[in-house]
């Protein structure tokens, strides 16, 4: 009560003082004016709206407490079936009365549905509906200074888009070995939003990657990626047998592989943490899967024609001899079995049984856009390529 009275007085003087300093207003007039000011300037808080992310290892009751829900209601709510769709990382929004009574709770599920929970009688009622996500097309460009992820982080490109970028150009660029300071890229991608706030990234629509001065471009068309002239970007062989990830990328950057020693070595060594996924660089049949001297656990794949590949020092093998596997399938995991001083993948590319430097071999490409679809492809590709041009030029201007 004392606080309220003080506030009333301040509000009154502020209003009255400029009007006429000389005239002392009557006490009655002061109170009338003050009463009309209180509800306008100091509205009692009807409810609070808070948003908190559900943390890994946290209990539902813990999350509800952080949202300001009082304990009895929180324990009742925590048992509600609708909350089972809540996963770590998802943000929960709550409207809560000053006494801790929840008025409403809502969160977006991984299935893009919006769950709303509101009190009803003694309990709570949940409604789940398709969320009205808006799609925005984003365009961003960045330059490699230390790693691809550092470059995408710097301009707020989501991880999912960074991975798609590495995937799309995986037939041309070995993202563990080929990146150089000053390489740059542009991406055009979808971003899903709810009420104007980003929810998650969608598809990569177009991209440009300038690797050591060589510019590569990709446009998405019918769930494949093509160069603007219609050539397929998917190659018979991936440039890298290691899956590109935040963890493996940082590792590779710190310990640069020794390409100069390739001749004596007959292979390429990829420093990577134990357990990093090793993938088949092309469609193949497993020729060998087991232990072999200094190679330790090794997998040898036979591809079409004269090609075969070997993956050594694996901590674990994930395929059996004779199995048919597709490009990008998991064949094992990085380790240090056999003659290895640290965790790394020893990779060999062989032509007619002879080890060769894969970087020196021209890789055949997959099918281009069919002749009959070229017109449709071009009408889709042109505006995307125009956007890439726009950003590429802006980018160059920035660098100069």
Q: In the chain, where does DSSP find H-type helix?
A: 2-16, 27-41, 60-66, 71-78, 148-155, 159-168, 246-254, 262-265, 374-399
Total site size for Zn ion, rule CB under 5 A? 3
Site string for Zn ion, 178-217 (x = CB under 5 A): ----------------------------------------
CB of 252 to Zn ion, least distance (A): 14
With binding defined as CB under 5 A, does residue 220 bind Zn ion? no
Q: Which of 174, 183, 208, 269 binds Zn ion (CB under 5 A)?
A: 269
With binding defined as CB under 5 A, does residue 346 bind Zn ion? yes
**355 vs 374, beta carbon nearer Zn ion:** 355
Neighbour count for residue 226 (Cβ, 10 Å): 22
**172 vs 269, beta carbon nearer Zn ion:** 269
> Of 148-156, 207-215, 260-268, 314-322, which part binds Zn ion (CB under 5 A)?
260-268
Residue among 389, 172, 147 nearest 246 (CA) = 147
Distance CA 208, CA 169 (A): 9
Judge whether 363 and 171 are in contact, CB under 8 Å.
yes
**183 vs 269, beta carbon nearer Zn ion:** 269
Distance CA 141, CA 16 (A): 57
Q: Residues 6 or more apart from 137 whose CB is under 8 A from it?
A: 188, 189, 190, 191, 205
Distances from the Cα of 192 to the Cαs of 26, 100, 185, 189, 222, in angstroms?
A: 61, 33, 22, 10, 20
With binding defined as CB under 5 A, does residue 348 bind Zn ion? no
Distance CA 143, CA 253 (A): 15
Q: In 79-175, where does DSSP find H-type helix?
A: 148-155, 159-168
Burial label, 322 (beta-carbon count in 10 A; 0-12, 13-18, 19+): exposed
| SS3 label, residue 114 | strand
> Of 207-215, 259-267, 279-287, 384-392, which part binds Zn ion (CB under 5 A)?
259-267
**340 vs 380, beta carbon nearer Zn ion:** 340
Total length of the chain: 400
**173 vs 271, beta carbon nearer Zn ion:** 271
CB of 89 to Zn ion, least distance (A): 38
> Of 19-27, 341-349, 364-372, 386-394, which part binds Zn ion (CB under 5 A)?
341-349
CB of 204 to Zn ion, least distance (A): 33
> Of 28-36, 189-197, 252-260, 340-348, which part binds Zn ion (CB under 5 A)?
340-348
Distance CA 285, CA 30 (A): 92
CB of 346 to Zn ion, least distance (A): 3
**202 vs 267, beta carbon nearer Zn ion:** 267
> Of 43-51, 94-102, 103-111, 267-275, which part binds Zn ion (CB under 5 A)?
267-275
CB of 270 to Zn ion, least distance (A): 9
Output the residue with the shortest Cβ distance to Zn ion: 346
**Quick one: DSSP state of residue 343?**
S
Question: String of b and e for 60-78 (b: at least 16 CB within 10 Å)?
Answer: beebbbbbbbeeebbebbe
DSSP per-residue codes, 161-226: HHHHHHHHTTTT--TTTS--TT-EEEEEEEEEEETTEEEEEEEEEEEEEEETTEEEEEEEETTEEE
> Of 22-30, 184-192, 222-230, 261-269, which part binds Zn ion (CB under 5 A)?
261-269
Residues numbered 74 to 133 that lie near Zn ion (CB under 5 A) are none
**267 vs 343, beta carbon nearer Zn ion:** 267
**59 vs 259, beta carbon nearer Zn ion:** 259
Alpha-carbon dihedral sign for residues 267, 342, 312, 323: negative
CB of 306 to Zn ion, least distance (A): 22
> Of 36-44, 282-290, 331-339, 342-350, which part binds Zn ion (CB under 5 A)?
342-350
CB of 347 to Zn ion, least distance (A): 8
**142 vs 309, beta carbon nearer Zn ion:** 309
Q: Can you give the binding site for Zn ion, defined by CB under 5 A?
A: 267, 269, 346
């Amino acid at each position: 009560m004392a606080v309220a009275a003080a506030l009333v007085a301040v509000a009154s003087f502020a209003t009255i003082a400029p009007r006429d300093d000389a005239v002392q207003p009557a006490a009655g007039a002061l109170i009338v004016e003050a009463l009309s000011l209180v509800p306008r300037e100091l509205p009692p808080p009807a409810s609070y709206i808070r948003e908190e992310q559900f943390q890994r290892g946290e209990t539902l009751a813990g999350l509800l407490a952080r949202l300001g829900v009082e304990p009895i209601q929180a324990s009742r709510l925590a048992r509600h079936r609708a909350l089972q769709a809540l996963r770590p990382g998802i943000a929960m929004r709550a409207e809560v009365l000053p006494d801790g009574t929840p008025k409403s709770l809502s969160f977006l599920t991984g299935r893009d549905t919006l769950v709303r929970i509101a009190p009803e009688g003694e309990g709570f009622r949940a409604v789940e509906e398709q969320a009205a996500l808006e799609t925005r097309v984003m365009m961003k460009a960045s330059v490699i200074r230390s790693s691809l992820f550092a470059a995408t982080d710097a301009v707020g490109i989501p991880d999912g888009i960074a991975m798609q970028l590495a995937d799309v150009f995986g037939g041309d660029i070995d993202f563990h070995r080929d990146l150089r300071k000053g390489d740059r890229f542009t991406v055009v991608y979808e971003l899903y939003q709810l009420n104007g706030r980003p929810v998650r990234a969608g598809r990569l629509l177009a991209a440009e990657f300038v690797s050591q001065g060589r510019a590569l471009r990709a446009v998405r068309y019918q769930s494949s990626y093509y160069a603007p002239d219609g050539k397929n970007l998917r190659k018979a062989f991936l440039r890298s047998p290691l899956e590109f990830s935040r963890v493996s990328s940082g590792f590779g950057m710190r310990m640069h592989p020794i390409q100069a020693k390739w001749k004596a070595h007959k292979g390429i060594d990829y420093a990577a943490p134990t357990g990093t996924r090793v993938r088949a660089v092309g469609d193949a049949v497993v020729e060998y899967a087991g232990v072999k001297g200094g190679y330790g656990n090794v997998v040898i794949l036979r591809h079409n024609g004269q090609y075969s590949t070997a993956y050594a020092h694996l901590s674990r093998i994930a395929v059996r001899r004779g199995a048919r596997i597709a490009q990008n399938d998991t064949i094992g995991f990085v380790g240090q079995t056999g003659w290895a001083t640290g965790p790394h993948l020893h990779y060999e590319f062989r032509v007619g049984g002879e080890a060769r430097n894969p970087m020196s071999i021209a890789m055949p490409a997959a099918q281009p856009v069919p002749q009959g679809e070229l017109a449709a492809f071009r009408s889709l590709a042109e505006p995307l390529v125009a956007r890439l041009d726009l950003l590429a030029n802006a980018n160059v201007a920035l660098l100069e």
